[in-house]
Amino acid sequence: MRRIKPAIIEFQNECYLRIPVRTHEIKYPDNLKDVLLRYVGGLIRSGDILVLSEKAVASAQGRLVKTAEIRPRPLAVFLANKVTKTPYGIGLGSPETMEMAIRECGLLRILVASFFGFLGRLFKVKGLFYRIAGRQAAWIDGDAPYGVLRGHVVLGPIAPSKTCRELSELLGVNVAIMDVNDIGGCEVCGASPGLNKKLLLALMKDNPLGQDVEYTPIGILRKLPKE
């Protein structure tokens, strides 16, 4: 049973209401602007922050690849087997996701990242692989047994900060695209200018939107007036 997350959370002596917004399963060729006008156009208020799931944005951009159609090269199989398995998800630990990382980032870059990642493990230095491979490699999501995009590898969103700026101009509120999971992983992929990322991480770390079949890939963060 999924743990119910509190609707109101405090950060630096301010209280914020977190409003999950239920939608249909967002996929290409859905237009993000049309989707947001449909679902949140009448809900948002001045001063709100709109948070979008990284997967939903990527899906609307056509960044889904059917797992069954990916043919990993032998090198991808080899490298995937060397990936340290973590509780944060599949990551590049499957041949299919590693193959997509090679296609996204280039073979040479992944080889260099893998070499330095190996050195990092020897000397207990974390994160070298993704520092070199880049965030697009880190944002690749494998075909997990949960969620609404089963049967697909999900690539990272294209130009997330630019997307946030455009959506912010459309809606008149700050917008962020975030990658969050149920076991502590929380990252801001892109945000409209001036948005407080520490605030976003604090308010979203427990994943109030969920990542299974809640169909709530959009959230509204609203500061509440002090009593």
Given 3-state DSSP classes, what are the helix, strand and coil percentages for the chain, each rounded to the nearest 5?
35, 20, 45
Kindly give the residue spans of alpha helices, DSSP state H, lying in the chain. 32-40, 54-60, 74-81, 95-105, 107-122, 128-133, 135-138, 160-171, 197-204
- With bands split at pLDDT 50, 70 and 90, how would you rate the model's confidence at 110? very high
Domain boundaries, the chain: 10-63+157-223, 67-154
- Contact by Cβ (8 Å): 47, 195: no
Calculated CA dihedral for residues 92, 94, 100, 104, nearest 10 degrees? 10
Interatomic CA distance for residues 140 and 132, integer angstroms: 15
Strands 174-180, 49-53: pairing kind: parallel
pLDDT digits (tens, 9 = 90+) for 178-212: 999 876 689 999 999 999 999 999 999 999 987 66
- With bands split at pLDDT 50, 70 and 90, how would you rate the model's confidence at 84? confident
pLDDT for res 216 = 92
Cis-peptide into 29, omega within 30 deg: yes
Residue 2 has pLDDT above 80, yes or no: no
- With bands split at pLDDT 50, 70 and 90, how would you rate the model's confidence at 1? very low
CATH class of 10-63+157-223: alpha beta
149 or 53: whose pLDDT is higher?
Answer: 53
pLDDT for res 226 = 84
The one-letter amino acid at 107: L
pLDDT for res 192 = 96
